[in-house]
């Protein structure tokens, strides 16, 4: 029986043939594609010719392409249009994929060949892109322990399995602590200040738990509005303390020992691989390069942001004093910030939304891309899609050269995960004299239009669309030889540059005038609205910056040095916070024991990258501001030096090629209003 996933796609632009693909096709297609990929790897290993760049590195790079294609289709569907059946298939497939990838990275014969080529890298006359590819391939093995003796290899595997258990337990404990707490309210008086929707949701939770009244939990959709709007200070305190005490209480869900075990195991792992610390290991593959660079970066921002933060804290304290609060505590922060913001900028979301009809914003981002990068977007209805809400476009340049296929999928529905993201159904590469162009997709969850009302976006949704479109440009304009170096395949702390850069156009009059028109009257958005958007986006920026910096410093402090002498999680944490604390410390609270980003997710030694990316985009946009936001010379340069180049060179080199110098923090501080 024919399996459409395994045949050559005879669709327009060879796009994924969604109308023919049934769920039953996936598993056999995966199994077959893994088999093909294994044969390709075996052909490399069994090649009798002396290993060279072509027969080993390039062959490895272009192996498993069928598998990649099937994986991207399947896992994109699992995010945007999943079902119980698809999730079941994912469960069955994932171990097969892990096993296959281990088969490659732990394959001694394959590594031997890669190493032989790497050893003569200087004699090979490679292009810079080829050199990067060879170095990456070699490092993939080495960073996974390929150079170690057998006993160290065994140690490494043991630590890896210990780490994955610790991470799992860390997350389970937080989840248990989150579910075990509830704030049960039976007096309507205690709900004062809360928005109706929050109260309704709390009532629903109570009903589910077969209780009277209202129940609030430590889940964000319940916790955040409670802390922002509840007038009852004692209850806010109760919630905040419960939130901060997660996995730091005297019970079996305590994460203190797990934190210590995690950082010590990570350190040991890094040492075995020959690195000074876990951060040294991680940052080798980042633009920031070393923990010292990260700390210097964070400290520089700290020095500049702190005076502003102290001033803001003072004015927030004074504001709260009028309400009878003598000493501002953590549980007052969100509440009085919101009140003060409202007093300073009386701009309601509802006033802005009519200017951001979804269709107009899409036109806007297309027009901006046209003015900057000469791109044209034509809707093509003959391309197969996985859902009726999806729209498909052929993307060309102004000389009608085919650039990419773009999918957009904007509305929430059952089976689609929350949030917004850019992804691809097919990457870009050059092979056999052909430049094989990418198929890029943007997935969001915006309000769906009704029969009487179009989809009107909040300003936050507008910047989200521009953000994801920035990633999409990085994917669509990719122009490299090797797929693993193409588009958004770049270092983690570099990947947000195109996306965050594009957000800047949402704040500029010249760009907004292209599309921000009232959906009924057609009138352009008033200038004072734009001013208010800009000003309110910098509200309490000093305090927020300080908070982000404190997390980044905590992360690098845990992972950048030998942790063997650390005894108390709380004491260690406090010592790293000493320059960033504005609020009084809460004795029985701890950040680290529930800091999932760095102890459960993949952000260890990477928390700084949020600020790092902001510095990059502000510094890059400053060049546009100096020369005009639609200056063709600058935008062409950005395209040629960054968007088309993917990960073919070190990101700092790419950036310097664009900007003429390394980024510095001033543009961000200026944009954030922190530079006096």
Cβ-based nearer residue to Zn ion, 62 or 421: 421
**CB nearest Zn ion: which residue?**
499
- Catalytic, 468? Answer yes
Q: Closest CB to Zn ion among 72 and 499?
A: 499
Listed residue (257, 136, 142) closest to 647, CA to CA: 136
* HSE, side-chain direction, 13 A CA sphere, residue 94: 8
Least Å from the CB of residue 438 to Zn ion: 17
- The CA-CA-CA angle for residues 391, 387, 451, to 5°, reads 75
Q: Looking at residues 85 to 114 of the shown chain, list those that interact with Zn ion (rule: CB under 5 A).
A: none
**Cβ atoms of 222 and 556 closer than 8 Å:** no
- Structure tokens, 408: 């957009």
* DSSP conformation class of 386: S
Considering the complex, state which of residue 277 and residue 499 has its C-beta at the smaller distance from Zn ion: 499
- Please pick, among 81, 468, 503, 573, the residue that the annotation labels catalytic: 468
Minimal distance, residue 227 CB to Zn ion, in Å: 26
The residue with tokens 């701009």 is 347
Residue found under tokens 């027009």 = 367
Q: Give 455 or 499: the residue with its C-beta nearer to Zn ion.
A: 499
Shortest CB 188 distance to Zn ion, Å: 42
**What is the helix (H) or strand (E) element at residue 396, kind and residue range?**
strand 391-397
**How many amino acids of this chain bind Zn ion (CB under 5 A)?**
1
DSSP 231-245: --HHHHHHHHHHHHT
Residue 588 DSSP one-character state: T
| φ, ψ for residue 265, nearest 5 deg | -65, -40
Structure tokens at 262: 């995690």
Which residues fall within 8 angstroms of residue 579, CB to CB, at 6 or more apart? 302, 306
Rounded to the nearest whole angstrom, what is the least distance from the CB of residue 273 to Zn ion in the complex? Answer: 29
Smallest separation, CB 468 to Zn ion (Å): 7
- Nearest approach in angstroms of CB 621 to Zn ion is 16
Distance CA 484, CA 491 (A): 12
**Min dist. Cβ of residue 531 to Zn ion (A):** 27
Mapped onto helix, strand or coil, the DSSP state of residue 53 is helix
> How many other β-carbons are positioned within 10 Å of the β-carbon of residue 127?
11
Radius of gyration, CA atoms only, the chain: 26
Dihedral sign of CA atoms 189, 194, 197, 202 in order: negative
**Through-space distance between the first and last CA atoms of the chain, rounded to whole angstroms:** 71
Instruction: Show the binding pattern over residues 414-433: x = contacts Zn ion (CB under 5 A), - = does not.
Output: --------------------
Smaller CB separation from Zn ion, 56 or 499:
499
Q: What string marks each residue from 490 to 529 as x (binds Zn ion by CB under 5 A) or -?
A: ---------x------------------------------
Q: Which is nearer to Zn ion, 128 or 601 (CB)?
A: 601
Tell me whether residue 421 or residue 577 sits nearer to Zn ion (CB atom): 421
Beta strands 434-436 and 402-409, pairing class = unpaired
Residue closer to Zn ion (CB basis): 584 or 602: 602
Contact pattern for Zn ion over residues 615 through 654, marking x by CB under 5 A: ----------------------------------------
- Closest contact distance (angstroms) between CB of 12 and Zn ion is 29
| Residue 190 touching Zn ion (CB under 5 A) | no
Angle between helices 541-559 and 569-576 (to 10 degrees): 130
Q: Cβ(120)–Cβ(57) under 8 Å?
A: no
Q: Which residues are catalytic?
A: 468
Binding site for Zn ion (CB under 5 A): 499
């Amino acid at each position: 029986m024919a399996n459409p996933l395994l045949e050559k796609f005879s669709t327009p632009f060879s796009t994924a043939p969604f109308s023919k693909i049934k769920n039953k096709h996936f598993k056999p297609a995966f199994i077959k594609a893994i088999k093909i990929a294994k044969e390709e790897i075996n052909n490399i290993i069994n090649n009798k010719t002396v290993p060279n760049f072509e027969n080993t590195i390039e062959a490895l790079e272009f192996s498993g392409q069928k598998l990649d294609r099937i994986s991207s289709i399947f896992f994109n569907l699992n995010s945007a249009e999943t079902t119980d059946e698809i999730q079941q298939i994912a469960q069955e497939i994932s171990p097969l994929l892990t096993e296959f990838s281990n088969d490659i990275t732990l394959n001694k014969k394959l590594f031997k060949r890669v190493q032989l080529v790497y050893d003569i890298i200087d004699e090979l006359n490679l292009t810079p892109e080829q050199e990067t590819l060879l170095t990456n391939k070699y490092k993939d093995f080495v960073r996974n322990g390929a150079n170690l003796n057998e006993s160290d290899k065994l140690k490494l595997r043991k630590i890896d399995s210990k780490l994955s258990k610790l991470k799992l337990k860390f997350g389970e404990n937080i989840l248990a602590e989150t579910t075990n707490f509830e704030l049960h309210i039976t007096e309507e008086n205690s709900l004062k200040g809360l928005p109706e929707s929050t109260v309704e949701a709390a009532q629903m939770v109570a009903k589910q738990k077969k209780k009277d009244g209202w129940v609030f939990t430590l889940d964000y959709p319940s916790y955040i509005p409670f802390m922002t709007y509840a007038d009852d200070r004692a209850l806010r305190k109760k919630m905040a303390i419960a939130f901060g005490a997660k996995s730091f209480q005297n019970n079996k869900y305590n994460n203190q020992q797990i934190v210590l075990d995690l950082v010590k195991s990570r350190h040991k792992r890094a040492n075995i691989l020959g690195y000074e610390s876990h951060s040294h290991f991680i940052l080798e593959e980042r633009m920031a390069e070393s923990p010292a660079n990260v700390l210097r970066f964070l400290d520089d921002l700290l020095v500049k942001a702190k005076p502003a933060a102290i001033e803001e804290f003072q004015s927030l304290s004074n504001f709260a004093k009028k309400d009878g609060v003598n000493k501002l505590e953590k549980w007052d922060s969100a509440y009085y910030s919101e009140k003060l913001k409202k007093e300073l900028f009386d701009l309601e979301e509802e006033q802005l939304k009519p200017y951001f009809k979804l269709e107009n914003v899409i036109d806007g981002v297309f027009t901006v891309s046209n003015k900057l990068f000469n791109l044209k977007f034509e809707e093509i209805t003959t391309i197969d899609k996985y859902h009726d809400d999806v729209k498909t476009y052929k993307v060309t340049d102004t000389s009608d050269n085919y650039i990419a296929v773009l999918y957009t999928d904007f509305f929430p529905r059952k089976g689609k995960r929350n949030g917004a993201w850019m992804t691809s159904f097919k990457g870009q590469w050059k092979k056999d004299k052909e430049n094989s162009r990418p198929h890029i997709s943007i997935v969001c969850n915006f309000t769906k239009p009704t029969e009487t009302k179009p989809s009107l976006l909040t300003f936050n949704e507008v910047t989200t669309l521009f953000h994801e479109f920035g990633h999409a440009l990085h994917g669509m304009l990719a122009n490299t030889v090797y797929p693993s170096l193409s588009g958004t395949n770049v270092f983690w702390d570099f990947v947000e540059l195109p996306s965050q850069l594009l957000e800047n156009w949402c704040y500029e009059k010249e760009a907004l005038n292209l599309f921000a028109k009232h959906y009924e009257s057609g009138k352009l958005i008033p200038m004072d609205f734009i001013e208010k958007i800009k000003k309110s986006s910098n509200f309490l920026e000093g305090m927020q910056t300080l908070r982000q910096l404190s997390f980044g410093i905590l992360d690098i402090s845990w992972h950048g040095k030998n942790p063997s002498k650390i005894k108390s999680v709380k004491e260690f944490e406090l010592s790293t916070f000493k320059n960033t604390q504005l609020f009084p410390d809460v004795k029985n609270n701890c950040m680290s024991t529930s800091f999932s980003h760095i102890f459960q997710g993949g952000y260890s030694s990477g928390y700084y990258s949020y600020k790092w990316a902001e510095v990059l985009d502000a510094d890059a946009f400053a060049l546009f501001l100096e020369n005009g936001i639609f200056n063709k010379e600058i935008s062409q340069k950005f395209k040629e030096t960054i968007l088309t180049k993917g990960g073919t060179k070190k990101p700092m080199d790419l950036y310097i090629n664009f900007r003429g110098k390394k980024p510095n923090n001033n543009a961000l501080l200026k944009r954030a209003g922190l530079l006096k």
